[in-house]
Structure 1
Amino acid sequence: MKFTDILFEDVREIWGKYLEHPFVKEIGEGTLDKEKFKNYLVQDYLYLKEYAKVFAMGLVKAESLSDMNLYYGSIKGILEDETEVHTNYLKYFGIDQNKVFDNRKEMTTESYTSYMLGIGLKGDLKEIAMTILPCAWSYQFIGRSLYEKHKDTLDNNFYKPWIEEYSSVEFEEGSEVWKNHINDLCKDISEKEAGNLRDIFMKSSLYEMDFWDMAYGK
Structure 2
Amino acid sequence: MKLIERLKADAAPQWTDYTRHAFVDLLGNGTLPQPCFRHYLVQDYLFLIQFARAYALCVYKSPDVADMRQGLEGVKAILDVELDLHVEFCGSWGMTRADIENAPEDTPTMAYTRFVLDAGMSGDLLDLQVALAPCILGYADIGAYLAGAGGDRSDNAYRRWIQEYSGEAYQEVAEAFSDWLERTGERYLTGYRYPKLLSLFEKACRLESDFWQMGLDVNA
Equivalents in 2 of 1:140, 1:160: separation in Å? 15
Structure 1 residues 216 and 103, CA gap change in structure 2 (3 angstroms): same
Corresponding residue of 1:177: 176
TM-score (norm. length: structure 2) = 0.93
Structure 1 residues 127 and 20, CA gap change in structure 2 (3 angstroms): closer
Worse overlay, 6-15 or 157-166: 6-15
1:1-23 superposed Cα distances (whole Å, 9 cap, x missing partner)? 22122111023333333354221
Corresponding residue of 2:154: 155
Corresponding residue of 1:193: 193
Q: Does 1:7 align with 2:4?
A: no
Return structure 1 stretches of 4+ with deviation > 6 angstroms.
Answer: none
Given residue 165 of structure 1, which amino acid in structure 2 is its aligned partner? E
Equivalents in 2 of 1:21, 1:3: separation in Å? 24
Runs of at least 5 residues in structure 1 that lack an aligned partner in the other structure: none
1:3-51 superposed Cα distances (whole Å, 9 cap, x missing partner)? 1221110233333333542211111111111111111111101100001
Runs of at least 5 residues in structure 2 that lack an aligned partner in the other structure: none
Equivalents in 1 of 2:103, 2:47: separation in Å? 12
CA contact (8 A) 2:52 2:79 kept: yes
Count of aligned residue pairs for this structure pair: 217
What is the CA-CA distance between 1:213 and the residue it aligns to? 0.8
Structure 1 residues 132 and 117, CA gap change in structure 2 (3 angstroms): same
What is the CA-CA distance between 1:178 and the residue it aligns to? 1.2
Given residue 174 of structure 2, which amino acid in structure 1 is its aligned partner? S
CA contact (8 A) 2:11 2:198 kept: no
CA contact (8 A) 2:19 2:138 kept: no
Given residue 187 of structure 1, which amino acid in structure 2 is its aligned partner? E
What is the CA-CA distance between 1:83 and the residue it aligns to? 1.5
1:69-89 superposed Cα distances (whole Å, 9 cap, x missing partner)? 100001000111112221111
Q: Does 1:86 align with 2:101?
A: no
Corresponding residue of 2:142: 142
Q: How high is the sequence identity, in percent, across the aligned residues?
A: 29
Q: Does 1:125 align with 2:139?
A: no
What is the CA-CA distance between 1:214 and the residue it aligns to? 0.7
Corresponding residue of 1:33: 33
Structure 1 residues 118 and 149, CA gap change in structure 2 (3 angstroms): same
Equivalents in 1 of 2:168, 2:11: separation in Å? 23
Root-mean-square deviation (Å): 1.5
Equivalents in 1 of 2:104, 2:90: separation in Å? 16
Question: Counterparts of 1:25-104 in structure 2 under 5 Å?
Answer: 25-104=25-104
What secondary structure, in the 3-state scheme, does the structure 2 residue paired with 1:186 have?
helix
CA contact (8 A) 2:47 2:109 kept: yes
CA contact (8 A) 1:18 1:142 kept: no
Worse overlay, 17-26 or 36-45: 17-26
What is the CA-CA distance between 1:99 and the residue it aligns to? 2.4
Given residue 166 of structure 2, which amino acid in structure 1 is its aligned partner? S
1:81-125 superposed Cα distances (whole Å, 9 cap, x missing partner)? 112221111101111112212111111111111111111222100
1:149-168 superposed Cα distances (whole Å, 9 cap, x missing partner)? 015x6111110010001101
Worse overlay, 162-171 or 97-106: 97-106
Equivalents in 2 of 1:120, 1:15: separation in Å? 21
